[in-house]
């Protein structure tokens, strides 16, 4: 079994060199824990990732927790989870502090506004991909509309809506 420090350093590296989260993490993760360290077989990582995606939570953290818990131990899995998120926490804390201290100048205002437009396009583009792949039934579209009216019009909590959607899916998920 690998030492705690070894686990920590490897997953820290995975967190640090993953750009874009989720799917983008896979090649980095496989390079480190399969090819370099030989802790897992590639199938084990892929299977862990497939399962991690289906759960609640952050996919990258779920993946490292799951594969480490299956192969080694729960305590090492917790170390793995924390090590994967630590680079983000350190880096983004600094960014967060910077964001608070800088004054928004004319130039910076235009840069941020342009970035807003870009992010809007990114979200719209991803959404379009989701809708075109999802094969949604007419009931599903009715659910989309209902959720939008409740969230936008009646300000119903998004957490409550997800909870209700889970309940509805347990009963009629096959028809949506």
Partner 1 sequence: MMIELFVRFFLIGAFTIGGGLATIPHLIELSQVTGWFDEKFLMTMIAISESTPGPIGINMATVVGVKSAGLFGGLVASVAVSLAGIGVMLLIAPSLTKYRNNILLKRVLKGLRPAMIGLILSSAFILWSRTFWDLMFSPILLGYGLLLIILSWVGLEFFKLKSFQIIVLCALCGWGLSFIL
Residue 57 three-state SS: coil
Rounded CA separation 139/148 (Å): 14
Question: Under rule CB under 8 A, which residues in 17-46 are in contact with partner 1?
Answer: 17-22, 25
Is the CA virtual torsion 61, 64, 67, 73 positive or negative? negative
Q: Is residue 2 within the footprint of partner 1 (CB under 8 A)?
A: no
DSSP, collapsed to helix, strand or coil, labels residue 78 as: helix
Task: Tell me the window of 1-9, 35-43, 94-102 that interacts with partner 1 (CB under 8 A).
Answer: 94-102
Distance of CA 143 to the CA centre of its chain: 24
CB of 14 to partner 1, least distance (A): 10
Under the criterion CB under 8 A, does residue 4 sit at the interface with partner 1? no
Question: Least CB distance from residue 85 to partner 1, whole Å?
Answer: 5
Task: Quote the CA–CA distance of 172 and 168 in Å, as a whole number.
Answer: 6
Closer residue to partner 1 in complex, CB, 34/147: 147
Q: Which of 52, 76, 79, 83 binds partner 1 (CB under 8 A)?
A: 52
C-alpha span between 45 and 62 (Å, rounded) = 11
Tell me which residues in 130-149 interact with partner 1 (CB under 8 A).
130-131, 134, 136, 140-141, 143-148
Out of 1, 4, 5, 97, point to the residue binding partner 1 (CB under 8 A).
97
């Amino acid at each position: 079994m690998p030492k705690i420090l070894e686990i920590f350093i490897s997953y820290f590296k995975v967190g640090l060199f993953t750009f874009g989260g989720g799917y983008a993490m896979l090649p980095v993760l496989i390079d480190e824990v399969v090819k370099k360290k030989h802790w897992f077989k590639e199938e084990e990582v892929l299977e862990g990732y497939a399962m991690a995606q289906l759960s609640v939570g952050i996919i990258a953290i779920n993946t490292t927790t799951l594969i480490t818990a299956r192969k080694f131990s729960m305590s090492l899995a917790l170390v793995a989870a924390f090590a994967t998120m630590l680079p983000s926490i350190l880096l983004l804390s600094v960014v967060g502090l910077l964001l608070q201290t800088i004054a928004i100048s004319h130039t910076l205002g235009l840069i941020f506004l342009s970035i807003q437009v870009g992010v809007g396009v990114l979200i719209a583009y991803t959404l379009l991909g989701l809708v075109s792949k999802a094969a949604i039934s007419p009931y599903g579209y009715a659910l989309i509309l209902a959720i939008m009216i409740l969230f936008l019009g009646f300000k119903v909590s998004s957490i409550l809506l997800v909870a209700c959607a889970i309940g509805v899916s347990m009963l009629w998920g096959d028809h949506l």
